[in-house]
């Protein structure tokens, strides 16, 4: 149980989990024809972020931890593109776009800080 409580106490994981929930809610309003396209891609990369944080948390060495955090960061960057595309396609309005982009940026800052702390 300490393992579970441990990652749940990480601010980066909490914020990434908030981002996943927001993306799931956001994509509920997308057109039905995007269910197996953009919606699926957005949800998969969003959920990959906290999942890789958890995976890295369970690793022994900082090098191994960092590898999973780099994967999480890649998924975070991928999500940024999908948010941009969704806005351009007018699937989301500027309020939802800004909200989710802000969450994405918050996760990015926390994730970069976590990676840096392991490499110092």
Structural domain for 56, as ranges = 2-119
Condensed to tens digits (0 to 9), the pLDDT of residues 51-98 reads 999 999 989 899 999 999 999 999 999 999 999 999 999 999 999 999
Under DSSP, the state recorded for 92 is S
Q: What are phi and psi of 87, to 5 degrees?
A: -70, -45
CA–CA separation, 27 vs 31, rounded Å? Answer: 9
- For the chain, the residue count is 120
pLDDT band per the 50, 70, 90 thresholds, residue 1: very low
Distances (CA, A) of 63 to 9, 31, 60, 66, 67: 21, 41, 9, 5, 6
**How many separate domains does the chain show?**
1
Provide the mean pLDDT of the chain: 94
How far is it, in rounded angstroms, from Cα 32 to Cα 46?
Answer: 19
Exposed, middle or buried: residue 35 (CB in 10 Å: 0-12, 13-18, 19+)? exposed
Report d(CA 33, CA 53) in Å as an integer: 31
Q: What is the pTM of this model?
A: 0.92
CATH number at 20 reads 1.20.1440.60
pLDDT tens-digit series, residues 60-70: 899 999 999 99
**Two tokens at 106?**
């918050």
| CA atoms within 13 A of residue 6's CA, in its CB half-sphere | 10
């Amino acid at each position: 149980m300490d393992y579970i409580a441990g990652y749940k106490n990480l601010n980066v994981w909490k914020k990434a989990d908030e981002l996943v929930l927001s993306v799931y809610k956001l994509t509920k309003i997308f057109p039905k024809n995007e269910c197996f396209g953009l919606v699926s891609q957005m949800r998969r990369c969003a959920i990959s972020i906290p999942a890789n944080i958890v995976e890295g948390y369970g690793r022994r060495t900082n090098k191994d931890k960092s590898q999973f955090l780099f994967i999480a960061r890649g998924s975070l960057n991928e999500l940024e593109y999908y948010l941009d595309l969704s806005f351009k396609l007018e699937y989301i309005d500027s309020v939802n776009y800004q909200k989710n982009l802000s969450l994405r940026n918050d996760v990015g800052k926390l994730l970069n800080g976590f990676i840096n702390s392991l490499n110092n």
